[in-house]
A = this chain, B = another copy of it.
Amino acid sequence: MDAPPPLRPVELPRASQGWAALRDDVRTGIWRWRPALGLAADIPEITLGEGHTPVAALPRWGAAHGLPRALVKLEYLGPTGSFKDRGAAAVIAALLHQGAASIVEDSSGNAGAAMAAYAARAGLAARIFVPASAPQAKRDQIGGYGAQVVAVAGTREDVARAAEEAAADQDAAYASHARHPAFVEGTKTFGLEVAAQLRADPPRHLVLPVGNGGLLLGAAKAYQELAAAGFGVTCPRLHAAQADACAPLAAAFAAGADDPLPVQARPTLAGGVAVGRPARGAAVLAALRASGGSAVRVTDAEARAARRDLAHLEGLDVEYTTAVAFAAAARLRATGVVQPHESVLIAATGSGLKDAGT
C-alpha cells in the first residue's frame, strides 16, 4: 500500500454560523462532524454509531475526593467498548478510500478489537498482531470479528515491526492507531463533542489515560481548530495519566524533556497505557505543556482502588487502564494542581467488561 495521503486542510465553518454548521445531526457516528474532519471529501462513511457519548456528573465520587465538580465522559460507550472506535472508523474509511482490500494492525487489545470490527464492517480482511503475552480475553474479542490474530514474541516494538513488515510484504494497509494520521481525525470528534456539550460551562481540566496519546492529541487538535475558527473556546488543561510501571511520558514531563524517556517497563493491570515508546510522544508532551497541563503516574494499587470506588460510589465499571485516569485526578487534587472549585472532566475510555472478573 502507498503511504497515507496527507490530510485535507481543515477549514471550519466560521463560528458566526454556529455549531449547527459543524455538525449534521441526522448522521450517526463520527461522520456527523464531517465538515470538521480533515479527510477526503469523497471518503466513504464507515460507521457503527461510534462517538456521541454522554457526559455525567460524579457527585459521590467527587465528594469523596474533594472534586465537587468532577464530570465523566463515557467514552467506553462505543461499539467495541472503547474510544478507539472513533479513530478506527476514520482509519478504515481512509484505507478503503485508498483501495485497500486488507489491513494489518498491531495492538495488545482495544485498538485491535476496534480495527478488526471496522474492517469487518467495511468488508476488509484483517490481521492483528498481538504480543505473545496478550490476555486471552483480548485475543478472543479480536478474533470474534473474524480477524486473524498473530501472536509475536518479544517487545511491544517487535510486534509493531512484524505488522509493518507484513504490510510491506503483502500489500496490506497498515492501519496503525499509533501512526496513521486519520486516527487523530477520528479522536478529534471527542474534543469537538466536549467543546459543544459543555460550552455553557467548559471544564478547566481534562484528565485522560495516555499510552500512545491518540485521544489526547485529538482533543488538543479540536480545540486548536475551533479556536482558529473563532469559536471562542479555551482548551482545558490536559493531564496525561500513566501507569507507574511504564511511564515514559510522565518521566519526560518531570525531567523537562521534549521526547519520551526510555523506560524499563514492568507488568501492570493497565495494559492500555503500557506503551514504552509512544510514536507520538513528542507531540503529546508539547500539547501537555501548551495547555498548562501535566503528566501523572499512579500505581496499580491506586488504579485498583479507583476502579472499585467508582463502581461502588457511582455505578460505573471501567477497565483498569481507565481507572488510572481517575486515580490521577484524585492525585492532581491532592497535590493542589486542581483546585476544589475547578471543574475536571475525566475520560472513561474503556469498559470494565474488558477486564471482567479481574
Contacts and interface: CB of A to CB of B under 8 A. Distances in A.
Contacts of A52: 52, 54
A145 B311 contact: yes
A60 interface: yes
Interface in A64-88: 74, 77-81
A144 B81 CA distance: 18
A218 to B, nearest CB: 20
Interface stretch (A116-124, A224-232, A337-345): A116-124
A78 B81 contact: no
A35 to B, nearest CB: 19
Given A353-B353, A356-B141, A79 B77 contact: yes
Interface residues of A, number: 44
Q: How many copies does the complex hold?
A: 2
A134 interface: no
B78 A54 contact: no
Interface in A112-168: 116-121, 123, 136-137, 140-141, 144-146
A53 interface: yes
B56 A77 contact: no
A322 interface: no
Contact of A77 (B77, B118, B357): B77
A14 interface: no
A12 interface: no
A211 interface: no
Nearest to A121: B315
Interface of A: 28-29, 47-49, 52-56, 60, 74, 77-81, 116-121, 123, 136-137, 140-141, 144-146, 311-317, 351-354, 356-357
5 contacts: A80-B315, A117-B311, A117-B317, A120-B311, A121-B314
